[in-house]
Amino acid sequence: MVKLQPLKQQVMVITGASSGIGLVTARMAARHGVRLVLAARNSDALHQLADEINREGGQAVPVPTDVGKLRDMERLAETAMNSFGGFDSWVNNAGISIFGPAYEVSIEDMERMFATTFWGVVYGSRLAAQHFMQRGRAGAIINIGSLFGDRATAIQSTYSAAKHAVHGWTDALRMDLEAAHAPVSVTLIHPGRIDTPYNEHARNYYPQQVAHIGMIYPPEAVAEAILYAAEHPVRDVFVGSQAKAVAVGGAIAPRLMDKVMERYMFATQLTDRPAINDQTNALYRPGYGMQERGSHEGWHRSSSMYVKATKNPALATLATVGAGVALLALISNLSQNGSTDGATQASKVEPIPIHHEEQEQASHLTL
Ligand code: NDP
């Protein structure tokens, strides 16, 4: 069993620290006494965050980084060495999505997305693993996956593919490191839908603004999972029973989940607001930074029972029941309404009409 350092003795590298989950994690980690190396492309946001943390008595170093560039990532690791003599946990959090029909999204956009969402994780994981193996003291690699890395969704095809690749990479890396008796804990975090500017930063091919519509978890729940994994060697942490329900449903009834996704993922990802992503999309340029939350619609949860259960096994049964209820809600809604022509809608390149009653219905769902 790998023995990790207490948080207050740790140096942590966080990619994607300028916004959303990374920003919340950095602030929460600083409050626990973690010394931080902060990475993202938005240099102003990173400096502002580091100043804020240092002013409040913490220690943080900003390192403007494009995670899709190996040289940038090597410089990030070197800065952690030069500033703090090394690091104890490395969080591969930076990521971005593309919303659009799979047959429409350009290959150039897909490749840039993979550079960030997949290759950034590979570069970061390897640099961290090599560091922990060379120094011979335990460390944690924490990769941020997605519910869509367990089960693909319509509309975000390239993102689903990149997150499946992250899941596969993380599991394979864990086995190779264990076989080598390396003192490294490898954790995959599986967030459900989280309230961050993720959708505003995405590249969007639709005329409607994309958002989460339905049950939404706070970024603090993911930060809590990340900090737990930095201290405890844990294989997987699901954030939200929603994430677990999608994973289990996809594994045991894949065709049914196709129908669930086709039925609900258009209505629960496309709003009736006009898209703003042309101004805010961050696929090729830094996103607007220093915002923890986005513009989602639905039931905002205050925490994740699944994360609490991971930290406290006595709650695990309750969380399993929660995931079961979430899955049953999906299936029963599907059987009441029948499968619809989501696939037919998807085959049209024109805007997809959003029916208010569908949105209303979807917002009560657990997805
Ligand atoms: P945000 O858009 O708020 O944050 C994304 C972060 O990634 C930003 O700090 C951004 O900084 C950084 N980033 C993007 N591209 C690059 C790049 N090329 N190089 C360096 N940094 C980059 O979204 P979230 O906080 O929600 O996303 C964090 C992680 O959580 C992602 O991996 C995402 O896929 C995952 N996730 C999110 C979910 C959600 O519902 N929000 C659900 C499941 C998983 P900058 O633009 O300054 O470079």
Cα 41 to middle of ligand 1, angstroms: 11
> Is residue 331 very low, low, confident or very high in pLDDT (cuts 50, 70, 90)?
low
Name the closest-CA residue to atom 43, ligand 1.
146
Residue 294 in contact with ligand 1 by CB distance below 6 A: no
Cα 94 to middle of ligand 1, angstroms: 4
Residue 218 in contact with ligand 1 by CB distance below 6 A: no
**pLDDT value of position 312:** 85
pLDDT tens digit sequence for 260-272 = 999 999 999 999 9
Residue 190 in contact with ligand 1 by CB distance below 6 A: no
> What mean pLDDT is predicted for residues 296-318?
84
> Is residue 336 very low, low, confident or very high in pLDDT (cuts 50, 70, 90)?
low
Of the listed 103, 123, 159, 206, which one is catalytic? 159
Distance between CA atoms of residues 154 and 159, nearest Å: 10
For residue 355, is pLDDT > 50? no
Tell me what the pLDDT averaged over the chain comes to. Answer: 90
**pLDDT value of position 299:** 86
Residue of 14, 18, 300 best suited for mutating to test ligand 1, as the one with most atoms within 8 Å of CB: 18
Residue 94 in contact with ligand 1 by CB distance below 6 A: yes
For residue 351, is pLDDT > 70? no
Q: What angle do CA 185, 190, 195 make, to 5 degrees?
A: 125
Residue of 13, 14, 21 best suited for mutating to test ligand 1, as the one with most atoms within 8 Å of CB: 21
pLDDT tens digit sequence for 123-169 = 999 999 999 999 999 999 999 999 999 999 999 999 999 999 999 99
Cα 359 to middle of ligand 1, angstroms: 26
Cα 33 to middle of ligand 1, angstroms: 24
Pick the residue with more confidence: 312 or 228? 228
Strand pairing of 270-274 and 208-210? antiparallel
Name the closest-CA residue to atom 8, ligand 1.
16
Residue 40 in contact with ligand 1 by CB distance below 6 A: yes
Residue 92 in contact with ligand 1 by CB distance below 6 A: no
Strand pairing of 236-239 and 184-191? parallel
For residue 362, is pLDDT > 80? no
pLDDT tens digit sequence for 182-192 = 999 999 999 99
Distance between CA atoms of residues 241 and 53, nearest Å: 32
Q: Which fold has domain 7-362?
A: Rossmann fold (3.40.50)
Distance between CA atoms of residues 59 and 42, nearest Å: 19
Residue 118 in contact with ligand 1 by CB distance below 6 A: no
pLDDT tens digit sequence for 61-73 = 999 999 999 999 9
Residue of 111, 201, 304 best suited for mutating to test ligand 1, as the one with most atoms within 8 Å of CB: 201
Q: Is 39 helix (H, G, I), strand (E, B) or coil?
A: strand
159 flagged as catalytic: yes
Cα 332 to middle of ligand 1, angstroms: 33
Q: Residue ranges of the domains in the chain?
A: 7-362
**pLDDT value of position 1:** 86
Question: Where does the chain have alpha helices with state H?
Answer: 20-31, 43-55, 70-84, 107-114, 120-135, 147-150, 157-179, 198-201, 219-231, 241-252, 254-264, 277-280, 305-311, 316-337, 342-346, 356-362
Among 26-40, 154-168, 252-266, the least confident range? 252-266
pLDDT tens digit sequence for 195-249 = 999 999 999 999 999 999 999 999 999 999 999 999 999 999 999 988 999 999 9
Q: Exposed, middle or buried, 318 (CB in 10 Å: 0-12/13-18/19+)?
A: middle
